[in-house]
Structure 1
Amino acid sequence: MASASVAKEEDNKLTLYSYWRSSCSFRVRIALNLKGLKYDYKPVNLLKGEQYSPEFLQLNPVGCVPVLVDGHAVLYDSLAIILYLEDKYPHNPLLPRDIPKRTINFQATSVVSSTIQPLHNLSLLNYIGEKVGPDEKLQWAQSVIRRGFTALEKLLKDHTGRYATGDEVFLADVFLAPQLHAAFKKFNIPMNEFPVLSRLHETYTAIPAFQEALPENQPDAVH
């Protein structure tokens, strides 16, 4: 019986393939931390192209992080992973029951994951640098972020409490925190341009689950 129990536990062990500066991986780390789920961290160095190795492409044929392995389940795409975690591990829920509030969470999540982050990811910025010029990369990223942040300020201004959609941490916060961190720390967006988002950013920095997920706190971080 003991050996069967150990085998079952091993089957259900969570493994996260991540890169320290990936905001998509950052989202999943936050979600895992908020739900109190332990996981093994497997670094994938995007700068060295490890995401295109045959071994990694067996896990994710798209060739990007994050990838979550839960027993026999292999999942990629941060939103799909987080919704999977929400369904399988429903404690500390990341979605409110209130339907209008739930909708605001999905809208904010969509702005980040569809309108902002894909338009300034590593591969696109490298392409812009090669085809247009290296000086254009930062300007492009800033223009994309400002457009998305302007939309988020309007979307959230009547719904925020302590967090994005009230006084509990939900899905919108999980997606906003990495994007805000990257905007203010990496892409030099002045925080005073977006007062609602700036306040949320300061709030997130005080939450242990967010602090532990920070890029600089990951085992593969380069300081």
Structure 2
Amino acid sequence: MTDIILYDYWRSSASYRVRIALNLKGVSYTAINTSLLDGDHKAADYVARNPQGFVPMLSIDGHDLTQSLAIIDYLDAKYDDPPMVSSDPAERAKTLAQALVIAADIHPVNNLRILKYLKNELGHNQDTINKWNRHWIAEGFAALETMAPETGLFGGEQPNLVDVCLVPQMYNARRFETDLSDFPRLVRIDAACNTLEAFQKAAPEAVKPV
């Protein structure tokens, strides 16, 4: 076992982001399955270390780090190759803004706790919930498509933070049968990223517990 431990759930897109970043940077880690369906993230010992009870959590250098973008920021400071954001302030801000279209605007209203509330507390059926998912994904993707480069990745020749956020969100989009025909640049970037080993090894099917 390595000293770096990722408390992970295979289908969590936030965990997926961190797995990609760790792989891109060549950081070895041990993954501990923390099932959202089984409630592992609500266990008292886990919440004592991570008060929100979310995944991922990365135990590294004596710290329990939470929130995927904060974790990736830590990794970027500690392992600077390849960089997830530019050292140029304007380019850094641009990358963060693009990544947050996904991490702050699309993902939070589509994650499991929101979907469970829509179903269990508000009484919506699955078709309505899927429609909800597709609406917010498409709205965010419409904006991100206009920001996407005509060629290459968001990071140019190598992935950056936006690419790391995009691929898990595209995975979710396909899970909910979102029409992606209006987002050809995003589809192209997703396909290009998924030819890279770091992304392939982080994919949900590659890490799903057997």
TM-score category (smaller protein): over 0.9
* Mapped contact 2:159–2:193 kept (Cα < 8 A): no
Q: Which deviates more from structure 2 when the two are superposed, residues 34-43 or residues 167-176?
A: 167-176
Q: Does residue 203 of structure 2 align to residue 201 of structure 1?
A: no
Q: What secondary structure does 2:181 align onto?
A: helix
Which of 91, 96, 99 is the matching residue for 1:101? 91
* Mapped contact 1:181–1:201 kept (Cα < 8 A): no
CA 1:36–1:196 in 2, change beyond 3 Å: closer, same or farther? same
How many Å apart are 1:164 and its aligned residue? 1.5
CA 1:117–1:27 in 2, change beyond 3 Å: closer, same or farther? same
Which of 104, 123, 146 is the matching residue for 1:154? 146
Structure 1 equivalent of residue 201 of structure 2:
212
Amino acid at match of 2:59: V
* Structure 1 vs Structure 2 CA RMSD: 1.6
Which of 163, 174, 184 is the matching residue for 2:153? 163
Whose radius of gyration is greater, 1 or 2? 1
Separation of aligned partners in 2, 1:42 and 1:51:
11
Structure 2 equivalent of residue 22 of structure 1:
12
Separation of aligned partners in 1, 2:63 and 2:85:
22
* Mapped contact 1:19–1:44 kept (Cα < 8 A): yes
Structure 2 equivalent of residue 143 of structure 1:
135
Separation of aligned partners in 1, 2:62 and 2:150:
39
How many Å apart are 1:219 and its aligned residue? 4.3
Structure 2 counterparts to residues 59-78 of structure 1, below 5 A = 59-78=49-68
How many Å apart are 1:98 and its aligned residue? 3.8
How many Å apart are 1:103 and its aligned residue? 2.4
Structure 2 equivalent of residue 31 of structure 1:
21
Q: Does residue 78 of structure 2 align to residue 83 of structure 1?
A: no
CA 1:39–1:165 in 2, change beyond 3 Å: closer, same or farther? closer
State how many pairs are aligned.
208
Structure 2 equivalent of residue 191 of structure 1:
180
Output the TM-score relative to the length of structure 1. 0.88
Separation of aligned partners in 1, 2:97 and 2:58:
24
Amino acid at match of 1:197: L
Q: What secondary structure does 1:97 align onto?
A: coil
Amino acid at match of 1:145: I
| Percent sequence identity over aligned pairs | 36
What 5-or-longer segments of structure 2 have no aligned partner? none
Structure 2 equivalent of residue 3 of structure 1:
none
How many Å apart are 1:51 and its aligned residue? 0.6
How many Å apart are 1:163 and its aligned residue? 0.5
Structure 2 equivalent of residue 133 of structure 1:
124
* Mapped contact 2:14–2:68 kept (Cα < 8 A): yes
CA 1:39–1:98 in 2, change beyond 3 Å: closer, same or farther? same
Structure 2 counterparts to residues 35-46 of structure 1, below 5 A = 35-46=25-36
Which of 94, 117, 121 is the matching residue for 2:111? 121
How many Å apart are 1:169 and its aligned residue? 1.2
Cα deviation per residue 1:32-53 (whole Å; 9 max; x = unaligned)?
0000000001000100111100
How many Å apart are 1:160 and its aligned residue? 4.7
Separation of aligned partners in 2, 1:39 and 1:128:
35
Output the TM-score relative to the length of structure 2. 0.94
* Mapped contact 1:128–1:136 kept (Cα < 8 A): no
